[in-house]
Amino acid sequence: MLRNQLSAAVESAAQELGYGFRQGFEYRMGEVPIRFPAVWLVPPHVVRVEGREEGEIVYRATLHLMRLDRRYDEQAKERQWAEMERDALAMIGRIGKLQGIFCTGNIALTPAEFSLTRQGELSMKAEFDARLYFPNEPDDKP
């Protein structure tokens, strides 16, 4: 359930910035048509849990921001990566302000020029931690 909450937050933030949203494992990126600019969310994984019935869970999320590569020269590529970097930071900042997500942090951004899909694109890999609280829910057991 919390994973779905994080995915919905990423989708909302991506769409607010004009990016199409897709999610799935990285090896499936080439299997589906993607409209650029796009964000691909790799399934987040749990890196830390504190508490049993209530507490904090930390997910590590990986996003791939992608734009169609129009065979840019090196200066144009740098401009594209700078824009994607700004967008990634804005997106992660918006995610951290959404209800249910306590904060985001431990951000890493890596530009890439190799294609992740068959369409050919420039990309920016954005990784971050998202802290969420899970509540003490009533026990369903008799």
For strand 20-23 and strand 38-51, is the pairing parallel, antiparallel, or unpaired? parallel
Look up residue 19 and give its two tokens: 């990016």
> What's the pLDDT score for residue 137?
52
Q: Which tens digit of pLDDT belongs to each residue from 38-87?
A: 999 999 999 998 877 778 899 999 999 999 877 778 898 899 999 999 99
* Residue 138 pLDDT greater than 70, yes or no: no
Every domain of the chain and the residues it spans: 2-134
> What's the pLDDT score for residue 45?
95
CATH architecture of 2-134: 2-Layer Sandwich (3.30)
Q: Which tens digit of pLDDT belongs to each residue from 80-116?
A: 999 999 999 999 999 988 777 888 999 999 999 888 8
Residue 24: pLDDT band with limits 50, 70, 90: very high
> What's the pLDDT score for residue 135?
74
Residue 140: pLDDT band with limits 50, 70, 90: very low
> What's the pLDDT score for residue 55?
84
| Residue 63 neighbours by CB under 8 Å, 6+ apart | 10, 39, 40, 41, 42, 88, 91, 125, 126, 127, 128
* Residue 132 pLDDT greater than 70, yes or no: yes
> What's the pLDDT score for residue 93?
94
The Cβ-side half-sphere exposure at 7, using a 13 Å CA radius, reads 14
